[in-house]
Amino acid sequence: MTGGPQVVEVVAVAGVDEVARATAGGRWTLRWRGWADWSLSRATIVLAAAAVALDVTTAWTGVSLGALGRISISPALPLALVLVARLHARRRGRTGPGRGAWREFAVGVGVVLAFTTVGYGVALGRPVEAVGLIVAAVGEELVFRLAAVLVIGAAVAAVLGRDWAHPRRWGAGPGIVGLTGAALVFTALPGHVDQITGATTSVSFASLALVLGYTVLRTGAVWPAAAVHALLNLTTITAWNQHGLAGLRLAIGAGALLALVAAADVAGRRLGLRVRVPTVVDLHALHDEVATR
């Protein structure tokens, strides 16, 4: 159950009959138990902020670690990988984004991504560039769906006097502000600004960032969002270069995003992050039951 900005974990002490009696007046529904189960520190936030600042600065100045084909690799990628390693180390021994929780999605998106990558290399004759698009997608997810969200969300949680070090206890507000702020920063990158021709195109970038970021912040798993982002990169550029593929690109993109959201829901249940709770609990029923014993 959730209450205010805190996540309240209720340990069932009543028997099955008592629970049935207390919840007889309502129905059961699925709810998330807060955001992802990460443990943050000041050093982690500083590292995340440095990754975001470095990525944005180098994107606007044109500095990179090199290129795979025509795709530049951000200097922020090494910092982002260190951030992931640090989060993983601090979560050791607690619930994490286990691969088994995403098994059907992993198989499905893996097959489609493999075919799309090979198809890109064959159709456009640039196989190295296909790898570059995948690496770039991983980098953007780590920086803008993880690092940026953590920095903004933790800052808002701290201002509100909440437990900023544990996103699971942020409450809805800091998480939503973190996702929105990170989406705006992502949309304002130079490569995206060049493609924005009006409100519709700007909303598309922000919406994509929100959907991908939501699945990361809910489940704590970055790789599913990175896989979908890479798939969208490959299909978009292929459609630009091959006439008649626009419809296929839209179908693949919409299908991948819907599958990601659905898989995040399933993964959340398997990890115990999304649980069934009653909409109504009659405490008087429990009290009366105890009093008659």
pLDDT at 225 over 80: yes
Residues 246-287 have pLDDT tens digits of 777 788 889 999 999 999 999 999 988 888 877 665 555 555
pLDDT of residue 26: 61
Give 130 or 200, the one with higher predicted confidence.
130
pLDDT for the residue 194:
73
Can you give the pLDDT at residue 12? 46
Chain segment 171-211, per-residue pLDDT in tens:
999 999 999 999 999 999 988 887 776 666 678 888 999 99
Q: For the chain, give the mean pLDDT.
A: 85
> Residue 118: its pLDDT value, please?
94
Give mean pLDDT, residues 151-175: 97
DSSP 10: P
At what angle are helices 223-241 and 199-219 packed, to 10 degrees? Answer: 150
Q: What is the pTM of this model?
A: 0.84
Mean pLDDT to the nearest integer, 27-34: 83
Per-residue tokens: 108: 């499905």
Note the pLDDT of residue 8. 45
Give the residue-averaged pLDDT of 32-39: 92
pLDDT tier at 289 (50, 70, 90 boundaries)? very low
| Cα distance between residue 50 and residue 45, in whole Å | 9
In angstroms, rounded to a whole number, what is the distance separating the alpha carbons of residues 80 and 141?
Answer: 9
> Is residue 131 very low, low, confident or very high in pLDDT (cuts 50, 70, 90)?
very high
pLDDT grade for 290, boundaries at 50, 70 and 90: very low
Residue 119 CA, distance from chain mean position: 27
pLDDT (0 to 100) of residue 10: 45
User: pLDDT value at position 15?
Assistant: 54
Mean pLDDT of 163-170: 96
pLDDT, tens digit, 9 for 90 and up, residues 89-116: 877 555 444 668 999 999 999 999 999 9
How confident is the model over 19-24, as a mean pLDDT?
56
Contact criterion met (CB below 8 Å) for 75 and 54: yes
Crossing angle between the packed helical segments 103-124 and 127-140, to the nearest 10 degrees: 140
The whole-angstrom separation of Cα 281 and Cα 77 is 48
pLDDT of residue 210: 95
pLDDT over 80 at 18, yes or no: no
pLDDT band at residue 2 using 50, 70 and 90 as cut-offs: very low
Residues 6+ apart with CB under 8 A from 225: 141, 145, 212, 213, 215, 216, 260
Residue 236 has pLDDT above 60, yes or no: yes
